[in-house]
Structure 1
Amino acid sequence: MKNAFGPSSLKAVFAGEHAWCGEKMMLSEELEGATTLTEFFSSGAFTKALDAYAADKDGADRRAIASMWSLYYFSALTIPYIVARRFHQELPVDMAAMSIALGEDGLPRAFGLPGEGSWHEGSDDDLLSFVAPLVRDHLTVIVQHLKAHCGIAPRLAWNNAAVYIDYAFNATARGEASDASKWASKALFEEQFLPDGTLNPFRNCLRHEAHGEQTICRRKVCCLRYRLPGIPSCGELCALPEQRKQ
């Protein structure tokens, strides 16, 4: 497949229905109010961000606060990355070279990249292969930070990232692969290893279950949102049966 966008361009990759991704991931030089991710997690800024997000939540469970915060982080990171990779653009997502900007509520607003990445030949449906750099260069470090600073179990953090990778990959699937019953991203949740030989942290994070005539996607581990006031349930996706109808 030939690069339809010519020279590397984030705005070209994030066109049309995916244009919103360009508001979540851009060049660091274009991102106002940004801090490097290295500084953000080492200077106390992360703790302040959680405090800001928790300000109107009346002493809610700190782990639930951190888990919910991470959902915003992972969605802004992984969805644009997967969308770009579908268009053969491999974005540079090494955490050590990226920056982050927050909203007034302390939630991640956007990520800054050191460059636009590179054109990547090959299949656009080999999810295991192109998730490997994301896991190696970024997600593993963030999962460790969440555990060390907030007591978030790694399995919970990986599950939080998994739901957005699953969403983005399925939403950009072609033809029958976009059918929920086909589950385009299924291999990511079944294979034991990633192509680079490392253990696959997403294995068993999500599963599909028959529910009458519907196929329901469900998490393995609950994100703890039910412990936060005013936060709606994630419905049938929830790992806890008693929370699915809340």
Structure 2
Amino acid sequence: MAAETNRASRRPTSIADYPIAHQAVCLDGLVGDGAFSYCRGKLLSVPPQTGIVVACRDLCDGAVFEGIIARYAQKFPGGDRRAIVSMWTLYYFSILTIAPSLHMFVHRIGLPLQIDRLSLVCNEKTGEPEAFVMTDRLGVTADPAGELHRLMVGHVEPVVAAIAANAGVAPKLLWNNVAAYLSWILKEIAHRHERDLVEGGLALLNDAAWPCGRRNPMVGMIRTARQQCGLEFARRKVCCLRYNLPGVGGCGEACPLPDGRH
């Protein structure tokens, strides 16, 4: 009886702790209520009952993307168009990098995150990104940096190219939005676990070239600055423009522009 109770109360710590039939829905169980609980509910196996669900590949269609952004822009009447698009992508890229990085590097899970294998869930009123729906089965990976590299090449890269072309936003701004969240979550994982765990991910963020040989569009996007008291902090290379939106504060010291630090 005691052994059965212990097995029932033990929280799973790996995808291997779940039967194969349940692996597609185990992510929130792995996260639990601990330090990374904000990652729960971001990667789904089935579409939710509410919200707008759109295939991520369709976001590369200018008309589809315009429909989503037009809905989101209603939150900021008269707001700067570039800032509105940038703010929307901050939500998109935060969901696409934070929870996946945790599962790749800590739980060693291979996630089906290529652009053709995901759908985006947006708030039905605001168009704000809320989660992704995965259609394929999860797997175990021994190469989390390789998984992250595939995410960058197979999803982030085409999305950035399409949004830049369709919305008139500089690719550097969008890549800096990606780098800001990726840098943050990798450092959080290193802080709460160990740095060796994410060395491969940090290399994808900081090295001049990716393993495929292509130039790394995120290199130099996050810089280390120092306050007068000597405290170090991360600062973006390119401003996200959010301070131009009514009712939205700036990024503080993280912003490269003085106007965005308020």
* TM-score > 0.5, shorter chain as reference: yes
Distance of aligned partners of 1:162 and 1:43 in 2 relative to their CA distance in 1, 3 Å threshold: closer
Q: Which amino acid in the other structure matches residue 227 of structure 1?
A: N
Shift of 1:225: 0.8
Task: Tell me the equivalent position of 1:5.
Answer: 17
On the 8 A contact 2:43/2:133 being kept in 1, the answer is: yes
- Give the TM-score normalised by structure 2: 0.81
**Secondary structure of the structure 1 residue equivalent to 2:40:** helix
**Secondary structure of the structure 2 residue equivalent to 1:131:** helix
Bigger Cα Rg: 2
Task: Tell me the equivalent position of 1:25.
Answer: 43
Q: Which amino acid in the other structure matches residue 159 of structure 2?
A: I
- Which residue of 55, 60, 77 maps to 2:96? 77
Distance of aligned partners of 1:3 and 1:35 in 2 relative to their CA distance in 1, 3 Å threshold: closer
Q: Which amino acid in the other structure matches residue 39 of structure 2?
A: C
**Secondary structure of the structure 1 residue equivalent to 2:190:** coil
Distance 1:2 1:58 in 2: 46
Shift of 1:105: 0.8
Question: Paired residues, what number?
Answer: 236
Please list the CA deviations of residues 139-196 of structure 1 after superposition, one character each: whole Å capped at 9, or x if unmatched. Answer: 0011011111111111110000111111111111156857xxxx99654443111122
Runs of 4+ in 1 over 4 A off after TM superposition: 1-4, 174-178, 183-186
Identity across aligned pairs (percent)? 30
Give the unaligned 5+ runs of structure 1. none
On the 8 A contact 1:189/1:207 being kept in 2, the answer is: no
Task: Tell me the equivalent position of 2:240.
Answer: 223
Distance of aligned partners of 1:213 and 1:4 in 2 relative to their CA distance in 1, 3 Å threshold: farther
Task: Tell me the equivalent position of 2:128.
Answer: 107
Task: Tell me the equivalent position of 2:216.
Answer: 200
- Give the TM-score normalised by structure 1: 0.86
On the 8 A contact 1:208/1:217 being kept in 2, the answer is: yes
Distance 1:72 1:238 in 2: 17
Task: Tell me the equivalent position of 2:178.
Answer: 161
Task: Tell me the equivalent position of 2:63.
Answer: 44
Distance 2:94 2:223 in 1: 19
Q: Which amino acid in the other structure matches residue 25 of structure 1?
A: L
Distance of aligned partners of 1:2 and 1:69 in 2 relative to their CA distance in 1, 3 Å threshold: closer
TM-align CA RMSD: 2.5
Given the alignment of the two structures, is residue 64 of structure 1 paired with residue 70 of structure 2, yes or no? no
On the 8 A contact 2:243/2:250 being kept in 1, the answer is: yes
